[in-house]
Amino acid sequence: MTLSWQRVLSGVFIAAALTACSKDKEVSSKPPIRPVKLFTVASGDGSAIRKFPGRIEASQQAELGFRVSGTVEELAVKEGDQVTEGQVLARLDATDFRITVEDRQATFDNANRNFARAKDLVAEGAISKLDYDRMEANFKTSRAALSAAKQNLAYTQLRAPFTGQIARRHIDNFEEIQAKQEIFSLQNTNDLDVIIDLPESVIRNLRSDDGDVEPKKQGVPMYAEFEGKVDAKFPLKIKEIATRADRDTQTFQVRMTMSAPANFIVLPGMTANVTVDFSQFSNNAAVFLVPSSSVISDQDLNAQLWVLDLDSMTVKSREITIGRMTGTMIEVKSGLTGNEEIVSVGAAYLAEDMRVSRMIQSEQALPRSDDPS
């Protein structure tokens, strides 16, 4: 092979290698497609229909304890047991209390006899009025002491103040307990309370011009739903509305009541989704609730979020006006029209017109407190 042919072949190999490298660079420079977690904004037409996370509490609950100190002799019920009003739940060792009653009884009997004799003697002038008054005082003091001793003996039995269910047992049998120490947690779960936190703007719509909530609150349609029971809706009735905002969240607590479901169990501590229809009271512009993790700020510290363009599967930034926080959600007063899909987690890592893909539902993890927003 001549030298000229060697040079030609070397040039071909070098050109091929350069072409391959340029293709590799072209492939590697192609922007990645980032998977994102999306959130669908509520419809603008239904903005007066709001959804809030709710927590369940028993409508009637009490922490029960003995009114005297002593040693637990018997725990008559277990956690989860249904009890009736007046039923004995636990007993203390009553030996010392019975002895005290006997001592107070003897003292009272003596004082009672002395006072009875004093009535006749003072009438005959055999004793002074001062001695009579002293015997009368001893009689009344011993009578009160006897009543207190009998009452303490009765307090050695812990009885249910209302019909309900034992939620917690805080001690074991034969323990030495102090007066007013918590022994049982008793709850009435026939009726349940559902608690939600409402922002100032919503509470304002519930108030009349004179500040009275009562005439309006009972006319607000609302119902509760539970996870896994999509076809079951339980009407709610407002029970209480706080008139002072929580100092941390600046929201007002609203307590509603409902009857316990008959076909599945709902216990205190569980959660519910509460839907409230404010359409008959709200005259304001639409206000949307979005996850607080979806809101970021631009270089001028203006609030914005990333909106998905369905045609190109890219994200576009949109400036918004935000309001108050409601739990993990934040109000958006302007910038949204409803039904948009926005990025709810990882918004800080996106750029204008970046291509994204929908994160598979099974891969979506709940955001942690230390996740970047």
Say which residues have a Cβ less than 8 Å from residue 18's Cβ, sequence separation at least 6: none
The predicted pLDDT at position 137 comes to 97
pLDDT tier at 284, thresholds 50, 70, 90: low
pLDDT tier at 305, thresholds 50, 70, 90: very high
pLDDT tier at 65, thresholds 50, 70, 90: very high
Mean per-residue pLDDT, 343-368: 76
Mean per-residue pLDDT, 225-238: 88
Q: Is residue 43 predicted with pLDDT exceeding 50?
A: yes
Mean per-residue pLDDT, 319-324: 89
The predicted pLDDT at position 216 comes to 52
Mean per-residue pLDDT, 194-222: 68
34-47+287-363, CATH topology level: 2.40.420
CB atoms within 10 A of CB 19: 10
Q: Domain segments of the chain: what residues?
A: 34-47+287-363, 50-60+190-277, 94-155
CB 289 within 8 A of CB 42: yes
Strand order across the beta sheet in which 88-92 lies: 157-159, 88-92, 70-75, 176-177
The predicted pLDDT at position 364 comes to 47
Give the class (CATH, top level) of 50-60+190-277. Answer: mainly beta
CB atoms within 10 A of CB 160: 19
3-state SS, residue 283: coil
Mean per-residue pLDDT, 179-208: 85
* Residue 145 falls in which region: left (phi positive, over 0), alpha (psi -120 to 50) or beta: alpha
pLDDT tier at 29, thresholds 50, 70, 90: low
pLDDT tier at 172, thresholds 50, 70, 90: very high
| Distance separating the N- and C-terminal Cα atoms of the chain | 67
Mean per-residue pLDDT, 50-71: 94
Q: Is residue 96 predicted with pLDDT exceeding 90?
A: yes
What's 260's DSSP letter? P
Mean pLDDT, the chain, integer: 84
Percent of the chain with pLDDT over 70: 80
Mean pLDDT lowest among 3-7, 136-140, 199-203, 359-363: 3-7
Question: CATH number of the domain at 94-155, please?
Answer: 1.10.287.470
The predicted pLDDT at position 300 comes to 84
Mean pLDDT lowest among 1-10, 219-228, 297-306: 1-10
If we measure between CA atoms, which residue out of 111, 166, 101 comes closest to residue 141?
A: 111
Mean pLDDT lowest among 135-139, 142-146, 229-233: 229-233
Percent of the chain with pLDDT over 90: 54
Mean per-residue pLDDT, 274-283: 72
* Residue 80 burial class via C-beta count within 10 angstroms: exposed 0-12, middle 13-18, buried 19 and up: exposed
